[in-house]
Structure 1
Amino acid sequence: MARVKTDERIVVAMTELLRRQGYAATGIKQVVDAAEAPIGSIYHHFSGGKRDVAAAALRQSGAAYGELVGMLLAPYDDIAAGIEAAFSSAADTIAESDWLNMCPVTTVAGEVADTEPALRAVAAEMIDGWVALGTALYRDRGLPEADAHALILAVVAALEGAFILARTQRSTAPILAAGRAMGAYARSLTIGPENMGSTVGAPA
C-alpha cells in the first residue's frame, strides 16, 4: 500500500484535532505528532503554518460533509421524507461515534469568526457550497429557486444547531426533533398554499 503523503497526513491529523478540541486548543506540536511528521514539514507544505493547515482541513472535511449530506438526501424523490431520513441517519451516526463532532466547519467558524477572518471566510465558502448543492437538488425536485434555497439553508442551520445540542445533552432527541420540523417545513413548500386550504374541513 502506498504511503500517504506527509501533507495529507498533516491535514487529516488537523481535521481530527479540530473535530475533537477546536482550533484554539490545537497546537502545531499536536498536529505533527498525530501525523508522525517532522515539525519543519508544516512550514514546508503550509507556509502560513497552523492557519493554513486548518484552512486545508476545513476545505477537505467540508467537501466530504457536503457529499455525505447530498448522498443522504438524493435517493428520495419526496423531499420531506429525504430530510427526515437524513436527520435520522445523522442521529444514529453521532451516537455511534460517541458524540464526536460530525464536521468541524461550523464549530470552528463559531469559535474564530471574530478572531480569524481568513478561517471564517473558508468556513463560509464551505457552507455556501453546501447550500448551492442543496438548492440545486431541491430545484430538481420541483421547488422554485427561492424556496429551494430557503429550505436547504434552514436544513443546514437546523442540523448544525441540533449537533451542538446532541453533543451537549448526549441525546439524539434534538436531531430527530429538528428533522421532523424540517420535514414539516418541506411539506408546507411542496403542498403549496393553493392545496392547503382544500384539506380544511375535509372528512377524516
Structure 2
Amino acid sequence: MGRKGDDTRGRLLDATQELVEAGGYFGAGMNQVIAASGMPRGSLYFHFPGGKDHMVAESLRRSGHRIEMAAQELAETAPDAAALVTGMLGLLGDRLEESGWRKGCPVATVALEMAAGHDELQQVCAGVYDSWEGALRDRLIADGHPEAEDVATTVLALIEGALLLARTRRSREPLERVGRRITTLL
C-alpha cells in the first residue's frame, strides 16, 4: 500500500478510535466514521473488507499498541516498576483530561460491550490487555518482584478502575490515589 493508502487507512482508524472511545462500539457506526474521517465510503470498504468489526478490531490493536509503546518509552527511563506505573498514570491522566474526559482506556468500552457475545472483538481486547499486563509483569520480574504475575494483574485492574472513576468524575483524583497505592504495593 502506498503512502496515500496508508494515510487514508490511518484517518479511518483515527476516526474509529475517537468514536469508539467516546461512545463505544455502537457509537462508531460506519456513517459516523465516514463523516469524522472525511473519507469516501469506498475507501472504508477497500481498507476494511470485513466491515465494521474489522475496522474496530484494527483500531483497538492500534490504540493498544500506542499505549504499549508509551509504556516502553517510559520504561527506558523509569528507575523501577513503581515509577513506570505512576508515569503511565500521569500520561493516561493527561490524555483523559486533554480529551475533555472522553478518552479513558482505548479498549475498555468495547471490552465491556462485546466480550460476552462477540468472540473476535473479545479476543482483540484480551490480546491488548495481555500485552499490557505482560509488559508490566516483565518489568516486575526484572526488578526482582515476587509474585510478578499476580501483581501485574492487580496493578492493571487498579489502573483500569482508576481510569473509569476519573472519567466518570471528570477528575484526576482517582488516578492520583491509585498511583499512591500502587507505589506502596510495589
Give the TM-score normalised by structure 2: 0.88
Partner of 1:96: 98
> Which residue identity is paired with 2:176?
L
What residue ranges of structure 1 are gaps of 5+ in the alignment?
Answer: 187-204
Alignment RMSD: 1.9
> Which residue identity is paired with 2:132?
W
Cα deviation for residue 89 of structure 1 reads 4.1
Give the Cα separation in 1 of the matches to 2:92 and 2:49. 36
Name whichever structure is richer in helix by fraction: 2
Cα deviation for residue 74 of structure 1 reads 4.1
Give the Cα separation in 1 of the matches to 2:98 and 2:37. 25
Give the Cα separation in 2 of the matches to 1:89 and 1:32. 29
Give the Cα separation in 2 of the matches to 1:129 and 1:82. 16
Partner of 1:30: 32
Cα deviation for residue 118 of structure 1 reads 1.1
Q: Is the 8 A contact 1:65 1:103 kept in 2?
A: no
Q: Where do 1:1-204 residues align within 5 Å?
A: 3=4, 4-144=6-146, 147-186=147-186
Cα deviation for residue 152 of structure 1 reads 2.0
Cα deviation for residue 132 of structure 1 reads 1.4
> Which residue identity is paired with 1:96?
E
Select between 158-167 and 78-87 the one with higher mean Cα deviation: 78-87
Work out the percentage of aligned pairs sharing the same amino acid.
34
Give the Cα separation in 2 of the matches to 1:129 and 1:8. 22
Give the Cα separation in 1 of the matches to 2:116 and 2:24. 15
What residue ranges of structure 2 are gaps of 5+ in the alignment?
Answer: none
Q: Is the 8 A contact 2:25 2:109 kept in 1?
A: no
> Which residue identity is paired with 2:179?
G
> Which residue identity is paired with 1:91?
G
Give the Cα separation in 2 of the matches to 1:55 and 1:114. 16
| Count of residues in Structure 1 that have an aligned counterpart in Structure 2 | 183
Change (3 A) 1:80 1:41: closer
Change (3 A) 1:152 1:7: same
Give the TM-score normalised by structure 1: 0.81
